[in-house]
Structure 1
Amino acid sequence: MKFATYTSKGSTYYGAVTDDGMIALNDACPQWPTLFDAVQADGLNTLERAAQELPVSHSVFEYDMVLPNAQRILCVGVNFPDRNAEYKDGSDQPKYMSLFPRFASGFTGHNRPLIRPPESSQLDYEGEVAVVIGKAGRRISQEDAYDHIAALTLCNEGTIRDWVRHAKFNVTQGKNWDRSGSIGPWLVPFTDASQIDDARIITRVNGEIRQDDVLSRMMHPIRREIEYISTFMTLRPGDIIVTGTPTGSGARLDPPQYLKPGDVVEIEVNGIGTLRNTIEDEAV
């Protein structure tokens, strides 16, 4: 079963996704005001049982960012070998992973537009798998890492490229423009390693494949990401780790091809789904 946050007739709900629409779960599980609260309480199994007893409540709705009140989102940068080579700086495979924070305000939901700001025309796409932590831990071993995952989702880690170069040692400015990226459409509960170890990421722009790779080629696999991050901070339920994007982003094409209004970006991962967004200029 899949779970989403969505809006219908001006009100926000969370619920179970079906072929016929959404099954709202807010009233059935009032102890959890949001989907984020349910994840924090290890409540996805309870949500599934509740959904099995309820009818579809909303056939007309819009997806929101799947955990719009997520408190901590950490992104892993340059995590595929070809992606490292794209930088053409002669560097070896890095021993340690690059990390940077993103905030929930920088993301929107499935089928909603990514927003290109007037300050830059260099809005770019990055298709990624995101893992949602379900059990707290510090100094988690790689062997135990998967025991701490509650669910999987998808991320278009939209980036304003020229703004990531405003300073020498950080990329935060270019990674946190309002609604420049998306996370969703839904959470898929994590059950076993087969869901992610060999999952294939495909990113399409206007139907053209731009990124195509498998998670098993990541330089820092998800088990290592959880181990490394939990060394310096306690991972908590509801934390999101965006695990890295393959080669093929628009900035690395020759010539670069940035996103523009009217474009459609689709990120597909087998077993999780497809995250789709259009592009619009910010209304100012």
Structure 2
Amino acid sequence: MSRPQFVSFSHKNRQGYGLLTVEGVVDLSARHGARWPSLREVIEAGALSALAAERGSLSPDFPVEEIRFEIPIPTPEKIICVGVNFPDRNEEYKDGQAAPSNPSLFIRFPRSFTGHNEPLIRPPESPQLDYEGEIVIVIGKGGRRIPEAQALNHIAALSLSNEGTIRDWVRHAKFNVTQGKNFDRTGSIGPWLVPYTDEAQLADIRLETRVNGEVRQSDRTSRMIFPLRKIINYISTFTTLVPGDVIVSGTPTGAGARFDPPIWLKPGDVVEVEADGIGTLRNTIADEA
């Protein structure tokens, strides 16, 4: 049996979460919502495994076509993103410098993301909407100054992100990228959460981004400059990680900004981010109404 897939969704004007099956969606929130209002509370309680066990004994409550996918953790305390975490990505900067000894980090707000199958929104302020396919880890066990040797034990689940970026807005100031990374609904997370149980799920998996079926980004997690153990250790040195925190772990080379001339996303485009054992996150592009 494939790994459980936990989804957050909207269904008939109600927010919920559940398990995806071949036949449809098992609405776990209808059964457990009073105790655990969202997947964040499920993770905090360490209950993903217990709920996954219900997958084979419960009938779906509605077909998947009836739901709208939401970002898996609707209200994380933190979304922390890693910049420049693949060797070829570092070389794009052409500054002659070796990879730094510590990761570059920035923060995104939940409102800057949307769910699977939803359009990424190109704002009227700029046409330079770009894609960045990335693997997401969700913290299950919180902590401060987490040793690298124990870091992976703090992961609850895996997901994917298209860490969409407004390129000219990341250069509005000298030292930060916050503006270009936080336009509403320019990125996505999903389509679901896959429980993390084994290091092999992350050690050497393929990460690929396609635009209209054309492969634009492709690399393997074994080539990350900063392994996930290091990332968790480093972040937890300066801030306490808590259950439900989301870490977006970096993108390979091949974003639209690196073409000559650059290739920006436009309405009607379809972007897919796929990783072995996790799934495929799909989004179209639309202009802001």
TM-score by length of 2: 0.96
CA distance in 1 between counterparts of 2:107 and 2:272 reads: 23
Which whole-Å deviations, capped at 9, do the CAs of 1:152-200 have from their partners, x for residues lacking one? 0000000000000011111000001100000000000001110011011
Report how far residue 54 of structure 1 moved: 2.0
CA distance in 2 between counterparts of 1:208 and 1:31 reads: 44
**Equivalent residue, structure 2, for 1:277:** 283
Return the match for 1:99 from 95, 105, 112: 105
Which whole-Å deviations, capped at 9, do the CAs of 1:112-154 have from their partners, x for residues lacking one? 0000000000000000000000001111111101100000000
Indicate the SS of the match to 1:57: coil
**Equivalent residue, structure 1, for 2:226:** 220
Indicate the SS of the match to 2:149: coil
**Equivalent residue, structure 1, for 2:77:** 71
Amino acid of the structure 1 residue aligned with 2:265: L
Structure 2 contact 38–74 (Cα < 8 Å) conserved: no
CA RMSD of aligned residues (A): 0.9
1:3 pairs with 2:12: no
TM-score by length of 1: 0.98
1:164 pairs with 2:167: no
1:149 pairs with 2:152: no
**Equivalent residue, structure 2, for 1:26:** 29
**Equivalent residue, structure 1, for 2:43:** 39
Amino acid of the structure 2 residue aligned with 1:107: F
Indicate the SS of the match to 1:268: strand
**Equivalent residue, structure 1, for 2:59:** 55
Structure 2 contact 26–61 (Cα < 8 Å) conserved: yes
Unaligned runs of 5+ in 2: none
Indicate the SS of the match to 1:144: helix
How many percent of aligned residue pairs carry the same amino acid?
59
Amino acid of the structure 1 residue aligned with 2:190: G
Report how far residue 62 of structure 1 moved: 1.6
CA distance in 1 between counterparts of 2:173 and 2:43 reads: 36
CA distance in 2 between counterparts of 1:65 and 1:140 reads: 26
Structure 1 contact 202–213 (Cα < 8 Å) conserved: yes
Indicate the SS of the match to 1:140: coil
Which whole-Å deviations, capped at 9, do the CAs of 1:87-107 have from their partners, x for residues lacking one? 112221111110000111000
Indicate the SS of the match to 1:164: helix
Indicate the SS of the match to 1:179: coil
